[in-house]
């Protein structure tokens, strides 16, 4: 399998390949095999023949949702899909970033490529044209209840294809029709069902979920490394992470977290020095139990996300194999909502764990002789070191925890009670992205504070750099761009730099 190409329709879409394509690290393109194009053609041909013979297909010859009893006149069939894109153009809020828009286009193209949506190969190639040329529809984040899928946000993709919305192209926001004309393309003309096939699905929440999932794994790994650094800085007890201890409560993910922490500590598992107390406080001692939950459930969440993105999830589904048209509810985003409600809870708890560790580092009642607030110049009483950073971390953590309320419990009845139970999956995914961002900010602050604490120990001759184990790698990576805090200075630029490095997966773990 070509690792530099994502062949849509020819391979299973994975979270890793979706993320790489969204970052433009690999190329996403349609499979060109004869079997694939034949599969797509059979679904489109079966839909056309069914219309000719029977008529009466939801969303093709009828209105949408509660309006399904409205029969559309044949002369208006071509107007119906265009109107669908237009009346859903009511999104609000910030626009999704470029990576998320690329991801949602790839996810939608992949689900349509399953061959059960009744769309033409021409439509798939038109979406591929947008992806290849990096024509990015402006997609507002707010307006989806997650069933019938992401109708409103996906209408911005559908509308852009027919030249009626704005896109970002080469850094500028322009009308889609203008960009298409510049590239020698006429706006697309929808065939029966093609607009609803684009819009009636879970691509937006699914794309955001995949990006959030990939980010959360790195944050969990970083939290293990930071915990090790802080255990050293706080003269903690390495035996809290002993392998045998975690064999006695054998959750695999919890044991993995303990192993990651243990390998980042100095070589021996005896206490770093005679312990001032036999047991460290929970935010250090129980770190594997908090972080390890991610490793224990990530496989379940991965399965939910990847199954969704490799499924046919619009309505109705057109099956040329059984010669059937299935009317169902596969647009319902409940699995993505569950994954995102769960993931944001785990990630916010990691932020809370790190927040508590920082509170120990800055407080002379708990930090085992480190200066108050990790100030670098003890002789200057004007210095306040990381005091404000600790306050900011508390604020970011509090906001992350606030966003852990499950979105699924806020289901609303909409659209004349046709959509009377909805998933709220898109809101859960957006919450999770926000929690990831806040947790990344907390993590950035802890990397700098942990470095500062270790640097102070080294300067005072209490610690040898060579004794840091694998934590030495992270210490040196931070030292390459962060000057230890001697006298008070604004730390915003340092924090933003560290956040950028986290988002680029710069730190080797």
Q: Which of 138, 177, 134, 423 is nearest to 304 (CA)?
A: 423
Q: Are 314 and 197 in contact (CB under 8 A)?
A: yes
**Buried/exposed code over 283-321 (b: 16+ C-beta within 10 A; e: otherwise):** bbbebbbbbbbbbbebeebbebbbebbbbbbbbbbbbbe
The helix (H) or strand (E) run that includes residue 470 is none
Long-range contacts of 55-59 (CB under 8 A, 24+ apart): 57/192, 57/193, 57/316, 57/325, 58/315, 58/316, 58/327, 59/193, 59/196, 59/200, 59/315, 59/316
Pairing of strands 92-95, 140-142: antiparallel
Which listed residue (54, 58, 218, 282) is catalytic? 58
Q: Which of 354, 355, 374 is nearest to 363 (CA)?
A: 374
Q: Which residues contact 305 (CB under 8 A, 6 or more apart)?
A: 15, 206, 209, 210, 213, 336, 339
The helix (H) or strand (E) run that includes residue 134 is none
Q: Are 117 and 40 in contact (CB under 8 A)?
A: no
Q: What angle do CA 263, 265, 271 make, to 5 degrees?
A: 125
DSSP state of 155: H
- The burial of 474, by beta-carbon neighbours within 10 Å (0-12 exposed, 13-18 middle, 19 or more buried), is given as buried
The helix/strand/coil state of 94 is: strand
The helix/strand/coil state of 383 is: coil
Determine how many CB atoms are found less than 10 A away from the CB of residue 480.
Answer: 8
Does residue 77 have an active-site annotation? no
Measured in degrees and rounded to the nearest 5, phi and psi for residue 132 equal -65, -35
Q: Give the sign of the dihedral formed by CA 390, CA 392, CA 396, CA 399.
A: positive
Q: What are the strands, taking DSSP E only, across 25-75?
A: 27-30
Give catalytic residue positions: 58
């Amino acid at each position: 399998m070509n690792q530099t190409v994502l062949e849509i329709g020819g391979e299973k879409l994975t979270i890793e390949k979706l993320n790489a394509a969204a970052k433009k690290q690999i190329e996403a393109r349609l499979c060109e095999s004869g079997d694939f194009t034949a599969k797509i053609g059979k679904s489109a041909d079966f839909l056309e023949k069914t219309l000719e013979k029977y008529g009466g297909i939801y969303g093709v010859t009828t209105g949408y949702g509660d309006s399904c009893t409205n029969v559309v006149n044949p002369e208006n069939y071509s107007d119906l899909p265009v109107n669908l894109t237009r009346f859903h153009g009511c999104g609000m809020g910030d626009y999704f970033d470029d990576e998320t828009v690329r991801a949602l286009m790839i996810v939608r193209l992949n689900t349509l490529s399953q061959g059960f949506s009744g769309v033409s190969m021409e439509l798939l190639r038109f979406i591929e044209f947008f992806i290849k040329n990096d024509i990015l529809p402006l997609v507002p984040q707010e307006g989806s209840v997650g069933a019938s899928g992401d109708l409103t946000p996906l209408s911005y993709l559908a509308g852009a294809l027919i030249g009626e919305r704005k896109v970002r192209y080469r850094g500028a926001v322009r009308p889609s029709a203008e960009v298409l004309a510049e590239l020698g393309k006429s706006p697309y003309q929808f065939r029966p069902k093609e607009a609803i096939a684009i819009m009636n699905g879970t691509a937006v929440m699914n794309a955001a979920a995949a990006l959030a999932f990939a980010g959360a794994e790195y944050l969990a790994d970083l939290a293990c490394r930071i915990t090790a650094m802080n255990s050293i800085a706080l003269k903690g007890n390495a035996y809290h992470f002993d392998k045998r201890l975690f064999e006695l409560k054998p959750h695999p993910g919890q044991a993995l977290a303990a192993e990651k922490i243990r390998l980042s500590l100095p070589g021996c598992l005896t206490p770093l020095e005679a312990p001032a107390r036999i047991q460290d406080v929970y935010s250090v001692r129980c770190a594997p139990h908090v972080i390890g939950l991610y490793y224990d459930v990530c496989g379940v969440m991965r399965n939910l996300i990847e199954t969704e993105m490799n499924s046919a999830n619009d309505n109705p589904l057109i099956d040329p194999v059984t010669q059937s048209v299935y009317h169902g509810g596969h647009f319902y985003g409940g699995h993505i909502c569950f994954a995102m409600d769960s993931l944001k809870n785990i990630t916010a708890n990691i932020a809370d764990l790190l927040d508590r560790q920082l509170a120990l580092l800055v407080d002379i009642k708990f930090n085992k002789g480190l200066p108050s607030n990790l100030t670098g110049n003890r002789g200057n009483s004007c210095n306040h070191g990381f005091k404000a950073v600790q306050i900011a971390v508390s604020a970011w953590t509090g906001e992350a925890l606030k966003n852990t309320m499950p979105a699924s419990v806020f289901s609303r009845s909409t659209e004349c009670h046709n959509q009377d139970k909805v998933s709220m999956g898109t809101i859960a995914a957006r919450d999770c992205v926000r929690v990831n961002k806040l947790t990344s900010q907390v993590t950035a602050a802890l990397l700098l504070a942990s470095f500062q604490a270790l640097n102070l120990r080294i300067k005072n001759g209490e610690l040898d750099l060579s004794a840091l184990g694998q934590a030495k790698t992270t210490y040196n990576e931070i030292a390459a761009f962060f000057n230890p805090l001697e006298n008070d200075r604004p730390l915003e630029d340092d924090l933003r730099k560290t956040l950028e490095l986290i988002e680029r997966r710069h730190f080797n773990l």
